[in-house]
Amino acid sequence: MINIEIDGKKIATESGSTVIEAAHEAGIYIPHFCYHKKLSIAANCRMCLVEVEKAPKPLPACATPVAEGMKVHTNSAQAVKAQKGVMEFLLVNHPLDCPICDQGGECELQDLAVGYGASASRYQEEKRVVLPKDIGPLVSAEEMSRCINCTRCVRFGQEIGGQMELGQAFRGEHAEIMSFLGEQVDSELSGNMIDLCPVGALTSKPFRYTARSWELSRRRSVSPHDGMGSNLAVQVKDNRVMRVLPLENEEINECWLSDKDRFSYEALSAPERLTRPMVRQDGKWQEVSWQVALEYVANGLSQISGGAGAAHIGALATPHSTLEELYLLQKLLRGIGSSNVDFRLRQSDFSMDGKQAGVPWLGMPLAEINNADRFLLVGSFLRKDHPLLASRVRQAVKHGAQANVVHSADDDLLMHVANKAIVAPDAMVDLLAQILKALATEKQASVDAAVQGVSVGSEAAAIAASLAQGKNVAVLLGNFAQQHPQAAQLQLLAQQIATLAGGKFGFLGEAANSVGGYLAQAVPGAAGLNAGAMLAAPRKAYLLLNTEVELDCHDPQQAQAAMYAADMVVALSAYKHHASDYADVLLPIAPFTETSGTFINTEGRVQSFKGTVKPLGEARPAWKVLRVLGNLLKLPGFDYDDSESVRDEALGGVAVAGKLNNGLSGITLQLPSAASSGLQRVSDVPIYAADAVVRRAASLQATHDAAVPRAVMHGEELKKLNLPPGSEVKLSQGAGSVRLNVAADDRLPLGVVRVAAGHAATAQLGAMFGTIVVEATSGSGA
Amino acid sequence: MLSDQIQEKINRELKKYPADQKQSAVMAALRFVQDEKGWISNDDMADVAAFLDMPHMAVYEVATFYHMYNLRPMGKHMLTVCTNLSCQLMGANETMDYLKQKLGIGLGEVTADGKFGLREGECMGACVDAPLFTINNKRMCGHLNAEKIDQILAELDSGKSGGQP
Ligand code: SF4
Ligand code: FES
Ligand code: FES
């Protein structure tokens, strides 16, 4: 510890910290622009000048390390003179356009100018003009004359986002922030630059000019998207969500948000919102009252359970639903005598059901990811599936951790990857077996007999060698691995690898409630059919909660066939969607901002939130809808006063931590015998196609990440098929086919076609994994 | 694409730096490009970025920061006249005016035949030779007067001597 004195206050602080850090820790404010606690030190704005005794001139507090006995004055005549001087310089070129600036009211420069600026300018000459830039649909760079060149945005890209899309070109008077050749900023974390920009140079395109910061009320909420459960400050005006900002939580999202979390709010007031209950009568949709709609549903369910039997009723929910919704859904189903309920819609291997020791989870707190020194990332589109978790891995790698990747695609993770094995999906199990065997050799440990036979390739050996040196190993299964048809085998192998390496094993939760779904018991158990089975063997009635089967299910073809064949489909949805073709009842439910509820994130953290605005139109929170449905069906135990009592019942008063367990017992390792023939499908779920809300967020849909999917293959495969890149092909699985343009990506393994799932353009295809036929269409090919 | 010669030169440069700090060679790499082509296009910057494993924007930052990198063609013989104080006192303005009139171009322009380009530069630390200009940033000509300028231009025009000293 180092003892210093700031403004007469004695402070003991860590050696190596800077004056500004020590001051802020002690509650002493030092004005600053370029300094940010999560970014490297640039010391280019000079706003933080302070007087340090015995130093010949004012020093920048952000770049001055503390030293024993140092005496700092942040408020002395010398310090204030320096700060005022800097402010005058900053304002020399800054436009005086606060009244029409979107940042007005929340501008760091405006605030500090009030404190340190003079009331009039001595500068008479012309101010410099920096031309506006178009850097994409999310971040506006229209008023770059306001930029004070603090380079926070640039450093964010380099250090946190992992890609330097913005930079400071030219110099001195001519310096300006821009992208190379005016390219669009594509980072999935780009919105954070808006928060970081201390002035109104970078602003939010969707939010611009819609409200002033002081008109907004701020309510806390939790992101419904990925498994992280980022904390949100939802800002509301006139009962409408105007924008979403991060709510700082060091253990989860730190001070960041992914663009998905930040900009998806646009979908809350999208024109596709379903606002009235609707029933199909004689083939035509009629708006009806809640009473009529719910009675229709209750009668329908009673008829089917009384006739064909309750086992003919199934319920499918997405893991973006709240704990309360999922809990009541399964309680309702079980109440009428069916256990066919599931939220794991994109999963295809259910062989672990009944063999799990507890609820599958991350296996560690999120914050611990930063401390790992070796990663094995199995089957994960990490950056797009878990943008902020990826940034934690990136930070760890920056500090010397080694990332090892086993996957069927090789998208740039924007971090150094030590070793990777990119193989077709049907070779993944074998690859993990190789790693396990190699690791056992490294560790001189005995190993499962089933893997003795595999021959270890160089990639697996390199990964094993990397893991063997780790002191803090994290083996993580991504969405792709969890959706894989041999998911249980992958898990078993990955777990053994983690155990041998003395590390931790975990699942990267796909959605906000991937852990919560289990705790809500929204799984079939031994008595019911899982998501795959209840579509493979069609039911007579389906309840869909937040689910668009053609986009959310592992096999959309099969799912749609089941819907069209059913006698009754009830869709509880916040949006009008494709269900209007096959459903009989559409019930408008509230998205996350219009209901109270709970998400349990991938690390098992229970986060409850309240509604931030009133439900739109006649939409109602789904937990209330299910409660009334329970009452109409005369089921016991459906009299809840509030969502909290639903949550408490769901969690049963037992700490969640005690229920989290990735253990599997009773499954034996079985390595696949022969590789499959033909081209295999590799599916990612594009970042802005993953759930019902983001699919309707207009600005996110205008990004490059939301472009129409293409059929991507290794250049060699394209050559074999005689297909020039860009040509159109027909892709077929089972009875369905779609037409997409092809693209080459030589980082893909041979023998695969990458075709996105979760997108309307591919909804007529079959399972996310398995063989797929590619044919040239007339007019394409050579 | 970077020519084989440029790649070879960059590779030689890279030996000076640790393997994980390839970006240290960016200034040299840009110089090699300009030596060969006379200027550095955006495509060249992208190629240098790919070669050195750097973000495009990082190369762009460097290329736009330094005055001596040409971001557009500046003619076969680019004359950079120092216009800082010592040179001005010794007649740099007259030198500049004479060159403008003689070549028929303004500052930052290139003659129609692409032979000569004219720009101004900052103190080259050679005030003792003022007034002066450099040819293609390589060869410095000092103690300039009309006669001497005529002679240098004629020599360059006849192609007897290039930019190299
Ligand atoms: S755009 Fe904003 S964040 Fe970026 S350098 Fe300028 S003032 Fe700083
Ligand atoms: S905050 Fe210290 S120089 Fe900018
Ligand atoms: S002022 Fe021209 S060389 Fe120094």
Residues 13-42 of B with CB under 8 A from A: 42
The helix (H) or strand (E) run that includes residue A59 is strand A59-60
pLDDT level of residue B163 (50, 70, 90 thresholds): very low
pLDDT level of residue A779 (50, 70, 90 thresholds): low
pLDDT digits (tens, 9 = 90+) for A231-262: 999 999 999 999 999 999 999 999 999 999 99
Distance (Å, whole) CA A590 – CA A693: 11
Task: Kindly state whether residue B151 falls inside one of the protein's structural domains.
Answer: yes
Query: What's the mean pLDDT in A348-374?
Result: 97
Same domain, B88 and B41: no
- The number of residues in chain B equals 165
When CB atoms are compared, the residue of B42, B57, B65 closest to A164 is B57
Do the bridges between strand A752-754 and strand A680-682 make them parallel or antiparallel, or are there none, so unpaired? parallel
Same domain, B153 and B85: yes
Whether the CB-CB separation of A202 and A193 falls below 8 Å is answered with yes
The helix (H) or strand (E) run that includes residue B135 is strand B133-135
Share of chain A above pLDDT 70, in %: 99
pLDDT level of residue A119 (50, 70, 90 thresholds): confident
pLDDT digits (tens, 9 = 90+) for A531-552: 999 999 999 999 999 999 999 9
Same domain, B60 and B91: no
pLDDT at residue A732 in the model: 97
The helix (H) or strand (E) run that includes residue A500 is helix A487-500
Query: What's the mean pLDDT in B22-51?
Result: 97
Distance (Å, whole) CA A35 – CA A26: 17
Task: Kindly state whether residue B24 falls inside one of the protein's structural domains.
Answer: yes
Whether the CB-CB separation of B40 and B78 falls below 8 Å is answered with no
Peptide bond into A137 cis (omega under 30): no
pLDDT digits (tens, 9 = 90+) for A448-501: 888 999 999 999 999 999 999 999 999 999 999 999 999 999 999 999 999 999
pLDDT at residue B161 in the model: 54
Q: Pick the last residue of a domain from B65, B88, B110.
A: B65
Pocket residue to mutate for ligand 1, from A202, A203, A204, most atoms within 8 A of Cβ:
A202
pLDDT at residue A672 in the model: 81
pLDDT at residue A447 in the model: 87
pLDDT at residue A677 in the model: 80
Task: Kindly state whether residue B164 falls inside one of the protein's structural domains.
Answer: no
Instruction: Give the ligand 1 atom nearest the CA of A150.
Output: 8
CA distance to partner chain B, nearest, from residue A405 (Å): 21
pLDDT at residue A673 in the model: 74
Query: What's the mean pLDDT in A676-682?
Result: 89
Distance (Å, whole) CA B162 – CA A696: 63
- Count CB neighbours of A566 within 10 A: 21
Q: Single out the residue of A63, A60, A40, A62 nearest to residue A51, CA to CA.
A: A60
Task: Kindly state whether residue B165 falls inside one of the protein's structural domains.
Answer: no
Q: Single out the residue of A389, A440, A54 nearest to residue A252, CA to CA.
A: A389
Distance (Å, whole) CA A429 – CA A273: 43
Pocket residue to mutate for ligand 2, from A29, A30, A35, A86, most atoms within 8 A of Cβ:
A35
Task: Give, rounded to a whole angstrom, the gap between the first and last alpha carbons of chain A.
Answer: 72
Ligand 2 centroid to residue A47 C-alpha, Å = 5
pLDDT at residue B42 in the model: 96
Task: Kindly state whether residue B112 falls inside one of the protein's structural domains.
Answer: yes
CATH code for the domain of B91 = 3.40.30.10
Whether the CB-CB separation of A729 and A722 falls below 8 Å is answered with no
Cβ contacts (< 8 Å) between B57 and chain A: which residues? 164-167, 169, 179-180
Closest ligand relative to B140 C-alpha: 3
Instruction: Answer yes or no: do B56 and A180 touch at CB < 8 A.
Output: yes
Q: Which of A180, A185, A402, A416 should we substitute to test contact with B (largest number of B Cβ atoms within 10 Å)?
A: A180
What is the Cβ-side half-sphere exposure of residue B24, based on CA atoms within 13 angstroms? 12
Q: Single out the residue of A402, A403, A457, A404 nearest to residue A427, CA to CA.
A: A457
Asked whether A148 lines ligand 1 (CB < 6 A), one says yes
pLDDT at residue B70 in the model: 95
Q: Single out the residue of A712, A708, A711, A779 nearest to residue A746, CA to CA.
A: A712
Interface contact B69, partner A, CB < 8 A: no
**DSSP assignments along A250-279, one per residue:** TTTTBT---HHHHHGGGGGG-TTB--S-EE
Backbone angles phi, psi at A217, to 5 degrees: -100, 150
pLDDT level of residue B159 (50, 70, 90 thresholds): confident
Interface contact B60, partner A, CB < 8 A: yes
Q: Pick the last residue of a domain from B65, B100, B115.
A: B65
Full residue range of the structural domain in which residue B111 is found: 77-158
CATH code for the domain of B13 = 1.10.10.1590
The helix (H) or strand (E) run that includes residue A72 is strand A71-73
Same domain, B88 and B138: yes
pLDDT digits (tens, 9 = 90+) for A334-352: 999 999 999 999 999 999 9
**Sequence-distant (≥ 6) Cβ neighbours of residue B66 within 8 angstroms:** B27
Task: Kindly state whether residue B124 falls inside one of the protein's structural domains.
Answer: yes
pLDDT at residue A286 in the model: 96
Distance (Å, whole) CA A484 – CA A769: 7
Distance (Å, whole) CA B128 – CA B146: 19
pLDDT digits (tens, 9 = 90+) for A74-83: 999 999 999 9
Task: Kindly state whether residue B128 falls inside one of the protein's structural domains.
Answer: yes
What is the Cβ-side half-sphere exposure of residue A3, based on CA atoms within 13 angstroms? 3
Distance (Å, whole) CA B20 – CA B41: 26
Task: Kindly state whether residue B72 falls inside one of the protein's structural domains.
Answer: no
**Can you read off the two tokens belonging to residue A625?**
């809808």
Cβ contacts (< 8 Å) between A158 and chain B: which residues? 55
Instruction: Answer yes or no: do B57 and A167 touch at CB < 8 A.
Output: yes
pLDDT level of residue A782 (50, 70, 90 thresholds): very low
Q: Pick the last residue of a domain from B21, B45, B65.
A: B65
Same domain, B87 and B126: yes
What is the tally of structural domains in chain B? 2
Same domain, B17 and B87: no
Mean pLDDT for chain A?
Answer: 96
Same domain, B58 and B16: yes
pLDDT at residue A71 in the model: 97
pLDDT level of residue A675 (50, 70, 90 thresholds): low
pLDDT above 70 for A9: yes
**Can you read off the two tokens belonging to residue A725?**
């890149």
Whether the CB-CB separation of A190 and A137 falls below 8 Å is answered with no
Cα separations (Å) of A344 from A303, A509, A552, A568, A589? Answer: 27, 11, 10, 22, 20
Same domain, B83 and B147: yes
Ligand 2 centroid to residue A45 C-alpha, Å = 5
Put simply, whether the predicted model's pTM sits higher than 0.80 gets the answer yes
Asked whether A46 lines ligand 2 (CB < 6 A), one says yes
Query: What's the mean pLDDT in A146-154?
Result: 97
pLDDT digits (tens, 9 = 90+) for B82-134: 999 999 999 999 999 999 999 999 999 999 999 999 999 999 999 999 999 99
When CB atoms are compared, the residue of B57, B64, B65 closest to A179 is B57
pLDDT digits (tens, 9 = 90+) for A501-515: 999 999 999 999 999
Same domain, B40 and B104: no
pLDDT at residue B160 in the model: 60
Same domain, B13 and B46: yes
Same domain, B95 and B34: no
Interface contact A167, partner B, CB < 8 A: yes
Same domain, B47 and B104: no
pLDDT at residue A479 in the model: 98
Helix locations, A192-273, DSSP H: 192-196, 259-263
Q: Can you tell me whether residue A605 is helix, strand or coil?
A: coil
pLDDT level of residue A120 (50, 70, 90 thresholds): confident
Cβ contacts (< 8 Å) between B45 and chain A: which residues? 180
